[in-house]
């Protein structure tokens, strides 16, 4: 394995001598093959993205594997290229495939018609250190006399824009891809294009490597099998944002309110349901179906198309993957969330300045009561809020496999119980009980929410293993083996969080575990969903997002100890806490004045 000193790489590019300055394509191919043979995925990821370590490095290593190093060469024809490959010990029996992505990049960079550039891909196989199958990805643009390709070759050999390292995404889905793209961006990799190749049914996402990268390659690729153009559109939009000037960037930010209202209007009109029934429907007919003016709907649809929520399809429109999530019938639908963010929460943000100045949540100033009481008096709004909470359910996907839950399910001697505190309609508890048939569940909630949860869970396969307890935080039942506290603490200030945690600590036996699901604020100022939600909680509930150390202090104040935390989708984490060994008898009881009613 190469050290971080680039001078140890024979014939590989260095800071002073990029690969484009090596005129002999055979030498470049040979050096790339040696590099691919010797790399370990985990070590290479840490070198590509300086600062990547710990749980996030393990998570990325689980989700992607090093696949190839790529370079662009300029043979006179395919036969000459195969001869060069053979000289390097690189055998390639397969037929060369068209490269749509590199062809389009070259065409844009050199102001050429893509139809005039025949770029091909060959992938001679190379074995990794443990025998895993890898490749040297070779892009080839033939030097055709009179075509001007020699001028392209001269410039590309000088800058070598297409040389990159590639990682294949394991079992890609939109949620996994978005998480990986966010991790790369968080560690300084800048979006740098990409595309969908219909010949291979694969989607590529390119990044410019961070300035501190410890490899000689300036670009990185993530490759995902399948058509992921919806995620790609977001990736390309990120690249566009990065290329904007300050004025353009600020205008885009200032018009964010328009985006919120456009999405809420899309949901309110039930455009996704109508487009789902009849993809490609014309604007006039769609307007009649949803009860809108044709001209007004056409303006809205153009804006939604710019956002990537719908796409033009002939004379009409169709939904994208993002737009389909606004369909109220979709699994993990985000329709309710759009209506909440475009409705009461949108209104409360008009009072953010007052919140920043006084500390009073904008919601309370606007409506005269906290948002939990406000929703409790309005059943339709309360139901919408509960539905909006369910929209974030994908963050729960890995949680049932947490070692604490697995250990409880595998324990012998008696049936173990999982207590979900303020668990809403039971989305999380249902996932845990479905994953572990040997566990029982107890759901503690307000009476109205509990009725909806009972109806939902008894209609499924886990209802017979679930008990239902109406109450508040003061009613946390003893005897549970694992307690769940999901997206609760961020609703409250520190004093009320301590009250909630003391109720939990009082109920827990010395052998019980507490799993807390929250977003964690970054400690290094890196972009994070938690930073946005921190502002949201301050303005709407008076709560806040916190760092892991902050949660550790709150837990310690209540006789609990933070054991560790692991990442979840959508920027969330699972924090694992246990009773501190020495303080079970010393945990201060909660006084009546510290009573905290439920709020989620």
Annotated catalytic residues are: 490
3-state secondary structure of 485: strand
- Report the C-alpha gap between 277 and 590 in whole angstroms: 54
Check if the beta carbon of residue 159 is closer than 8 Å to that of residue 42.
no
Task: Return the SS3 of 553.
Answer: helix
**Separation between Cα atoms, residue 336 and residue 334, nearest integer Å:** 6
CB atoms within 10 A of CB 383: 16
Q: Using the structure block, give the residue that is written with the tokens 């091909």.
A: 120
Q: Is 108 exposed, middle or buried (0-12, 13-18, 19+ CB in 10 A)?
A: exposed
**Which DSSP letter does residue 479 get?**
T
Helix (H) or strand (E) holding 192: strand 190-197
- CA separation, residue 520 to residues 24, 172, 392, 532, 573 (Å): 50, 25, 16, 11, 7
Residue of 569, 574, 572 lying closest to 175 (CA atoms)? 569
For residues 37 and 133, give the distance between their C-alpha atoms in angstroms, rounded to a whole number. Answer: 9
**Angle value at C-alpha 430, between 426 and 436, nearest 5 degrees:** 150
Rounded CA separation 44/385 (Å)? 44
Q: Is the sign of the CA dihedral 492, 498, 503, 505 positive or negative?
A: positive
């Amino acid at each position: 394995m190469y050290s971080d000193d680039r001078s140890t790489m024979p014939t590989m590019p260095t800071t002073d001598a990029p690969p484009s300055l090596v005129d002999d394509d055979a030498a470049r191919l040979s050096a790339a093959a040696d590099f691919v043979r010797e790399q370990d995925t985990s070590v290479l990821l840490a070198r590509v993205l300086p600062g990547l370590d710990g749980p996030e490095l393990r998570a990325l290593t689980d989700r992607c594997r090093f696949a190839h190093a790529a370079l662009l060469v300029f043979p006179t024809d395919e036969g000459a290229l195969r001869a060069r490959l053979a000289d390097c010990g690189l055998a390639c029996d397969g037929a060369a495939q068209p490269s749509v992505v590199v062809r389009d990049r070259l065409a844009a960079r050199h102001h050429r018609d893509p139809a005039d550039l025949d770029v091909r891909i060959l992938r001679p196989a190379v074995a990794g250190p443990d025998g895993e199958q890898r490749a040297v990805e070779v892009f080839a643009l033939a030097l055709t006399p009179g075509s001007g390709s020699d001028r392209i070759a001269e410039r590309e050999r000088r800058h070598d824009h297409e040389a990159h390292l590639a990682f294949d995404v394991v079992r890609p889905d939109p949620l996994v891809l978005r998480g990986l793209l966010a991790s790369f961006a968080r560690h300084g990799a800048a979006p740098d294009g990409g595309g969908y190749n219909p010949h291979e049914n694969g989607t590529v996402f390119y990044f410019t490597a961070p300035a501190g990268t410890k490899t000689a390659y300036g670009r990185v690729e993530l490759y995902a099998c399948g058509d992921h153009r919806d995620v790609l559109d977001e990736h390309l939009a990120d690249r566009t944002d990065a290329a904007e000037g300050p004025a353009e960037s600020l205008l885009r930010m200032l018009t964010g309110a328009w985006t919120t209202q456009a999405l809420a209007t899309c949901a309110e009109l039930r455009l996704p349901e109508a487009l789902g029934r009849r993809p490609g429907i014309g604007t006039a007919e769609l307007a009649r179906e949803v009860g809108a003016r044709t001209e007004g709907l056409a303006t809205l649809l153009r804006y939604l198309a710019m956002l990537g929520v719908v796409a033009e399809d002939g004379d009409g429109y169709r939904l994208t993957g993002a737009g389909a999530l606004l369909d109220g019938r979709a699994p993990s639908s985000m329709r309710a969330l759009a209506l909440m963010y475009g409705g009461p929460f949108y209104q409360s943000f008009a009072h953010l300045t007052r919140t920043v100045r006084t500390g009073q949540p904008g919601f309370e100033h606007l409506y005269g009561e906290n948002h939990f009481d406000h929703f409790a008096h309005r059943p339709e709004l309360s139901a919408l809020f509960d539905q909006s909470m369910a929209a974030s359910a994908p963050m729960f996907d890995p949680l049932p496999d947490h070692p604490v839950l697995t250990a409880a399910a595998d324990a012998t001697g008696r049936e173990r119980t999982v207590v979900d505190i303020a668990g809403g309609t039971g989305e999380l508890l249902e996932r845990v009980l479905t994953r572990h048939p040997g566990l029982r569940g107890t759901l503690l909630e307000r009476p109205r929410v509990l009725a909806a949860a009972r109806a939902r869970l008894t209609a499924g396969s886990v209802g017979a293993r679930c008990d239902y307890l109406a109450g508040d935080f003061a009613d946390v039942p003893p005897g549970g083996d694992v307690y769940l506290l999901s997206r609760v603490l961020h609703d409250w200030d520190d004093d009320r969080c301590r009250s909630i945690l003391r109720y939990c600590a009082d109920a827990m036996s010395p052998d019980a575990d507490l799993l807390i699901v929250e977003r964690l604020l970054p400690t290094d100022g890196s972009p994070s969903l938690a930073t946005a939600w921190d502002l949201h909680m301050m303005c709407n509930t008076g709560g806040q997002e916190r760092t892991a150390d902050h949660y550790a202090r709150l837990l310690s104040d209540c006789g609990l100890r933070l054991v560790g935390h692991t990442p979840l989708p959508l920027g969330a984490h699972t924090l694992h806490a246990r009773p501190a060994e020495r303080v079970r008898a010393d945990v201060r009881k909660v006084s009546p004045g510290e009573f905290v009613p439920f709020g989620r």
